[in-house]
Amino acid sequence: MLSLPKNFETFNDARKKSFMALYEAKQRGKKVVGVFCSYTPLELVYAAGAISVGLCGKSEQGIPEAEAHLPKTLCPLIKASYGMALTDQCPFFYFSDGILAETTCDGKKKMYELMSKFKPVHVMNLPQGRDQALALDAWTEEVKLAAKFLEGLFSVEITPEKLHDAIVYRNKVRRAIVDIYETAKLKPSPVSGYEISTIAESADFHFTDDDLVAKLQRTAKDLRERVRTGADGRPRVLITGCPNAGVRDKIIKTLEELGADYVCADNCAGPRTQKFMVDENSEPYRAIAERYLKINCSVMTPNTTRFDDIRELVKEYRADGVIEIVLHGCHTFAVEAFTVMNMVQNELGLPYMRLDTDFSQSDKGQIETRLGAFIEMMSAAA
Amino acid sequence: MVYAGIDIGSTAAKGVLLNEAKTEILARKLMPSGWNSRQTAEELHTWLLSLGHSREDLRIIATGYGRVSVPYADKTLTEITCHGKGAAFLGGGDLTVIDIGGQDTKVIVLTGGRVTDFVMNDKCSAGTGKFLEVMANRMGLGLDEFFAMAETGREVKISSMCTVFAESEIVSLMGLGTPREDIACGAVGSVVSKVSALVNRKSPSGKYYLTGGFCEAGFLVRKLGEVLGAEVITSPDGRFAGAIGAALLG
């Protein structure tokens, strides 16, 4: 039975509005699947006649409540995601019919066990490396199992035709998102990286009936035609590492206010991931598995293709420096950061800075000083 | 035109005036930052204007934690860039700068006089001046007395990195009758080990220059050199490095 959460009246107007919008969409029969990771094959969700929504926590909200169940030292993204879900504060989680999850990191896979107590959750077993024996075979089977879960959840059949259409559609969405990101290849970039990342992210929450691809294409065109004055000579930064939506205001906004441009997101939301397409002409399940296994997350070992990507992106986006964001508790990115630092400094000869942080505001001042110093360092090197 | 650097740190505020060629320090001013950065900045302004140069003839650059409170500055820069530049002026352009400040500690790698890498302590006060200030206070000592005592002590291990926990740890040590000399020596050892861990996160050049308020704390400088396995150079002007760097960048 569709209803609003018990604490609905305590929400502010913006939150009430997004709850109502989704409530109405659900009343019209929309089916919703929550996802937490770029490894989740969205094609399956669309082939099942549902829409996907990204549920990663992006603020401190929900963290205190999450810490009643989860360790304080866990990554803020996992805590925030779980906390928002637990407290019914996130309309997208609340109205999700089920969650398509993955074993990307240890924190998340164990969190999903707790989450499954209050929502149907299917966890896909992601291989830990691309070169392992049977990695692609196993992952293809996982993609099929996930399809079965969705078929059961919605009592539908994912036919080869539906899957093919979904593949073609998601490829179009991805191309349009990459187009938006590539606006920043222009020097100077006509639009701030803060704005680009916000626009790209909005594609994760498309539950209206208008055409998402057309909308994104229009936006890309508008951005490209924009004229930005006074932006010459601003150092250009590539940001790598953990997902950064939860620190967008603390780091990206501050970086751009202090005089640099965030031109390239080398993370799971950015072009590094979006550029991979699913082969539309081969067996769909295997083609999906192949595409998703290419994603360069530090959970993979070895993860050498991430480094090839950074080299390429630095060149394509003409970056003057690299900032790595490591969220507290994210062991894989924290360890891999050492290799990234050596590569950026010694091989590419560019300034590199690593910021270890979480979603709190307690290090706002320190981060501002570090960003300021990093910009001065890039400017002096130019 | 002469060049002034104003460095308002969390504990001490520093002012420096350089000659037109930026080769010589004409005047220095050191004062506590106090509780009001704006007022401190105002006092430094008055001092600058008393040095015989008109405002039009002065170019003023502000840095440090309180740089936002210097409305009369022509420009502001972060303390990283300024400490790097100042240390290059004092000790040469190819070295690793260690700045132990009142509330943060920085390691800055200089190559050819330019900052090529840096790292700062995370948000706690372990390994900063604040840590030693709190420990000295707890033992009823001024910092000079504290260092003098530390020099004659035998190091006891203080295991807590957190200033608050370390304070209760030394209270227990005092309760056990451990000599103050040994505790002071242990507290210096704690800062030195934390600072050297920070240094080792970067690729140090093997030549170190200490800036900040401990530039005349010979015992700490020596201990730091022992742990790093290299000589740590400094001079009484080390505490003015940020202000000197600011003036140089004017």
3-state helix, strand, coil in chain B (%, to 5): 45, 20, 35
Residue A124 pLDDT: 98
Q: How sure is the predictor about A207, in pLDDT bands with cuts at 50, 70 and 90? A: confident
Chain A residue whose CA is closest to B124: A363
Mean pLDDT of B11-18: 97
CATH of the domain at B24: 3.30.420.40
Domain count within chain B: 1
Of all residues in chain A, what percent carry a pLDDT higher than 90?
Answer: 87
pLDDT digits (tens, 9 = 90+) for A76-97: 999 999 999 999 999 999 999 9
Please report, for residues A358, B8, B30, B229, the alpha-carbon distance to residue B212 in angstroms, rounded to integers and kept in the order given. 29, 12, 12, 21
Q: Is B158 on the interface with A (CB under 8 A)?
A: no
- The string of pLDDT tens digits covering residues A129-152 is 998 889 999 999 999 999 999 999
- Rounded to whole angstroms, the Cα distance separating A83 from A157 reads 33
Q: What is the pLDDT of residues B62-81, one digit of tens each?
A: 999 999 999 999 999 999 99
At position A298, the amino acid (one-letter code) is: S
Confidence of residue A14 (pLDDT cuts 50, 70, 90): confident
Structure confidence by residue, pLDDT tens digits, A300-347? 999 999 999 999 999 999 999 999 999 999 999 999 999 999 999 999
B32 lies in a domain? yes
**pLDDT at position B121:** 86
Q: Is residue B77 part of a domain?
A: yes
> Can you give the pLDDT at residue B123?
66
Chain B residues within 8 A of A352 when measuring between CB atoms: 117
What is the predicted pLDDT for the residue at A15? Answer: 86
SS3 A238: strand
Quick check: is B90 in a domain?
Answer: no
- Per DSSP (E only), the strands in chain A are 32-35, 51-54, 98-102, 121-124, 236-241, 261-266, 321-327, 352-357
Q: How far apart are the first and last CA of chain B?
A: 10
Res. A201: pLDDT tops 90: no
The mean pLDDT of B88-109, rounded to a whole number, is 94
Residue A307 token pair? 């480094």
DSSP 8-class letter at B57: G
Q: How confident is the model at residue B127 (pLDDT cuts 50, 70, 90)?
A: confident
**Do the domain assignments include residue B38?**
yes
Domain assignment of residue B27, given as a range: 2-82+242-248
Which CATH architecture is the domain A8-162 placed in?
Answer: 3-Layer(aba) Sandwich (3.40)
Chain B environment of A351 (Cβ under 8 Å): 116-117
Q: What is the pLDDT of residue A18?
A: 85
pLDDT of residue A338: 96
ipTM of the complex: 0.90
Q: Is A328 left (phi over 0), alpha (psi -120 to 50) or beta?
A: beta
B246 — pLDDT class (breaks 50, 70, 90) = very high
Residues 23-62 of B with CB under 8 A from A: none
**Mean pLDDT, chain A, as a whole number?**
94
Kind plus residue range of the DSSP H or E element containing A271: helix A271-274
Residue with tokens 């009643």: A68
Specify the pLDDT at position A247.
96
- CA dist A275 → A102, A126, A267, A309 (Å): 21, 20, 12, 11
Min Cα–Cα distance to chain A from B117, Å: 7
pLDDT at B204: 67
% of chain B residues with pLDDT over 90: 90
The CA distance from B136 to B143, in Å, is 6
- Which is it for strands B12-18 and A321-327: parallel, antiparallel or unpaired? unpaired
Contact state of A373 with B123 under an 8 Å Cβ cutoff: no
In the beta sheet, which residues pair with residue B76?
A: B62
Q: In this structure, are residues A4 and A21 in contact, taking their beta carbons and an 8 Å threshold?
A: no
Closest CA to B10 of B99, B91, B107: B99
Interface A-B: count of C-beta contacts within 8 A:
45
